[in-house]
């Protein structure tokens, strides 16, 4: 008798793994070990709708309570996995119990990188990842006047736009020369730098944080940057990226390195153990490189794939189709809805379609002469067409895309139906 599937992680990847296994007819025991005490919830709205003025701070559950009973999935809340015993195939939990597994799915996600500069522990300095973090910010924002955000990544800029919309003086410090530089083309990064300036956000590029100083009440009062500039701050949000939670895997002797290393079937170096979502370092067939992605799409699509691997008993079938879904992402920053299809590379040749001045345009990225990624602002039609084109076998050249009258939507419509 199969000992069942244990899933470590109660986020999007963990719950989708459980859901997909049941939907595929898996009849064994399924246990989800969720580290946080709440009913598992959606993280993306925490830095968007959740912070808007006037909204009631109520989280959106990933699945309702009834889901777990209806699907016979045991959800352990507020409990962490502490060790994996691979020879015995069990997981130790911090409540002193152990769980046997036939397959183990690691959906451990990521944690925030933290600052360690002087003053980094002062009251008034926040991070934004969990529901508890978001509630603390929601409570602090109404009284905030001078907000400083450390890091111009997606989370930092989403928060900055929300703080600005509430009328706060908002400054963003970014040590790199462009916002969202790891994820976006330079042309899109530069456009967003201008767009945030127009919203009235003080985006300081090539300027990192040096230290924080406290006021008479002991709370943060000033952020001193690497240029020596002093920025008034009664509320600080730090958004400087995340680290994969791969220690549980590493201690168990699984291969790690910027995440838990998996093969195309999402199996770790132990075929009874899979890893999915933000924590998984996987070979991406489109680029041939190992990558790790932090997104809802990657979490849910990998979870579905892992469920197929388990159902197929793919441990004996390494030739099973590798995970190859097209990555896509979104970020909502004030009035700007940024949508990305495919992964842009710094060296990509770019072509702008649409009207940047009207905040409705797309940046097409070409690699080896062919369309490889598309970034869109307030143009959902372009984004969805790009997803269809890039996921399919369409080959769009720069020459073709530069022709008078070319649109992504028309090109997608012209594709042969899959």
Cβ proximity to another protein: between 267 and 388 the closer is 388
User: Taking contact as CB under 8 A, which single stretch among the options 58-66, 80-88, 252-260, 310-318 is the one that binds another protein?
Assistant: 58-66
Distance, in Å, from the CA atom of 37 to the CA atom of 75, rounded to the nearest integer, reads 11
Grouping H, G, I as helix, E, B as strand and the rest as coil, residue 283 is strand
Cβ proximity to another protein: between 268 and 376 the closer is 376
Residue choice 337, 350, 367, 391 for contact with another protein (CB under 8 A): 337
Q: Interface with another protein includes 332 (CB under 8 A)?
A: yes
Report the sign of the C-alpha dihedral through residues 279, 283, 284, 287, in that order: positive
Residues in the chain: 418
Residue choice 37, 167, 253, 380 for contact with another protein (CB under 8 A): 380
What are the E-state strand segments in 307-415?
328-333, 336-341, 349-355, 360-367, 370-377
CB atoms within 10 A of CB 105: 30
Q: Interface with another protein includes 65 (CB under 8 A)?
A: yes
Cβ proximity to another protein: between 44 and 109 the closer is 44
Q: Interface with another protein includes 282 (CB under 8 A)?
A: no
Q: Say if residues 73 and 242 touch (Cβ distance below 8 Å).
A: no
Count residues near another protein (CB under 8 A): 28
Residue 255 burial (CB < 10 Å; 0-12/13-18/19+)? middle
Q: Say if residues 283 and 114 touch (Cβ distance below 8 Å).
A: no
Cβ 234 to another protein, closest distance in Å? 30
Where in 1-40 is the site for another protein (CB under 8 A)?
A: 12
Give me the phi and psi of 358, to 5 degrees please: -95, 5
Q: Interface with another protein includes 292 (CB under 8 A)?
A: no
Q: Interface with another protein includes 339 (CB under 8 A)?
A: yes
Cβ 117 to another protein, closest distance in Å? 33
Distance, in Å, from the CA atom of 166 to the CA atom of 335, rounded to the nearest integer, reads 14
Q: Interface with another protein includes 154 (CB under 8 A)?
A: no
Cβ proximity to another protein: between 1 and 418 the closer is 418
Distance, in Å, from the CA atom of 303 to the CA atom of 200, rounded to the nearest integer, reads 40
Q: Interface with another protein includes 62 (CB under 8 A)?
A: yes
Q: Interface with another protein includes 407 (CB under 8 A)?
A: no
Cβ 106 to another protein, closest distance in Å? 21
Residue 416 burial (CB < 10 Å; 0-12/13-18/19+)? exposed
Residue choice 8, 30, 296, 394 for contact with another protein (CB under 8 A): 296
Q: Interface with another protein includes 330 (CB under 8 A)?
A: yes
Q: Interface with another protein includes 48 (CB under 8 A)?
A: yes
Distance, in Å, from the CA atom of 257 to the CA atom of 280, rounded to the nearest integer, reads 10
Residue choice 74, 140, 214, 384 for contact with another protein (CB under 8 A): 384
Q: Please report which helix (H) or strand (E) contains residue 67, including its range.
A: helix 65-70
Cβ proximity to another protein: between 49 and 217 the closer is 49
Q: Interface with another protein includes 72 (CB under 8 A)?
A: no
Distance, in Å, from the CA atom of 315 to the CA atom of 320, rounded to the nearest integer, reads 10
Cβ proximity to another protein: between 60 and 324 the closer is 60
Question: How distant is the alpha carbon of residue 271 from its chain centre?
Answer: 26
Residue choice 28, 61, 283, 322 for contact with another protein (CB under 8 A): 61
Task: Summarize as ranges the residues that interact with another protein (CB under 8 A).
Answer: 12, 42-45, 48-49, 60-67, 70, 296, 300, 304, 330, 332, 337, 339, 380-381, 383-384, 388
């Amino acid at each position: 008798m199969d000992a069942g599937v244990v899933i470590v992680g109660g986020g999007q990847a963990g719950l989708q793994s459980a859901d997909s296994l049941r939907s595929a007819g898996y009849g064994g025991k399924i246990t989800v070990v969720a580290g946080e005490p709440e009913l598992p919830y959606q993280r993306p709205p925490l830095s968007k709708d959740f912070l808007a003025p006037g909204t009631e701070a109520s989280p959106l559950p990933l699945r309702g309570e009834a889901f777990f009973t209806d699907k016979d999935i045991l959800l352990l809340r507020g409990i962490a996995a502490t060790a994996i015993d691979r020879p015995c195939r069990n997981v130790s939990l911090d409540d002193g119990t152990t769980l046997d597994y036939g397959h183990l799915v690691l959906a451990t996600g990521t944690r925030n990188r933290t600052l360690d500069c002087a003053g980094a522990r002062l009251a008034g300095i926040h991070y934004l990842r969990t529901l508890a973090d978001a509630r603390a910010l929601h409570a602090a924002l109404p009284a905030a006047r001078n907000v400083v955000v450390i890091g111009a990544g997606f989370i930092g800029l989403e928060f900055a736009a929300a703080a600005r919309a509430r009328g706060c003086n908002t400054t963003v410090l970014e040590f790199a020369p462009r916002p969202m530089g790891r994820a976006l083309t330079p042309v899109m990064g530069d456009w967003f730098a201008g767009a945030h300036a127009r919203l009235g956000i003080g985006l300081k590029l090539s300027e990192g944080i040096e230290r924080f100083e406290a006021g008479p009440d002991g709370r943060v009062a000033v952020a001193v940057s690497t240029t020596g500039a002093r920025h008034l701050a009664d509320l600080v949000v730090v958004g400087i990226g995340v680290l994969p939670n791969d220690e549980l895997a590493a201690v168990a002797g699984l291969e790690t390195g910027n995440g838990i290393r998996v093969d195309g079937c999402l199996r770790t170096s132990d075929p009874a153990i899979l890893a999915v979502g933000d924590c998984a370092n996987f070979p991406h067939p489109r680029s041939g490189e190992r990558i790790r992605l932090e997104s809802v799409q990657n979490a849910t699509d990998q979870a579905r794939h892992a469920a197929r691997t388990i159902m197929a008993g793919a441990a004996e079938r390494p030739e099973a189709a590798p995970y190859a879904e097209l990555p896509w992402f979104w970020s909502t920053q004030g009035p700007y809805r940024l949508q990305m299809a495919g992964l842009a590379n710094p060296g990509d040749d770019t072509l702008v379609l649409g009207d940047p001045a009207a905040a409705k345009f797309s940046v097409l990225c070409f690699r080896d002469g062919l369309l490889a990624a598309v970034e869109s602002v307030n143009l959902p039609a372009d984004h969805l067409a790009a997803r269809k084109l890039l996921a399919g076998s369409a080959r769009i050249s720069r020459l073709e895309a530069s022709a008078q009258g070319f649109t992504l939507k028309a090109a997608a419509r012209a594709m042969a139906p899959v």
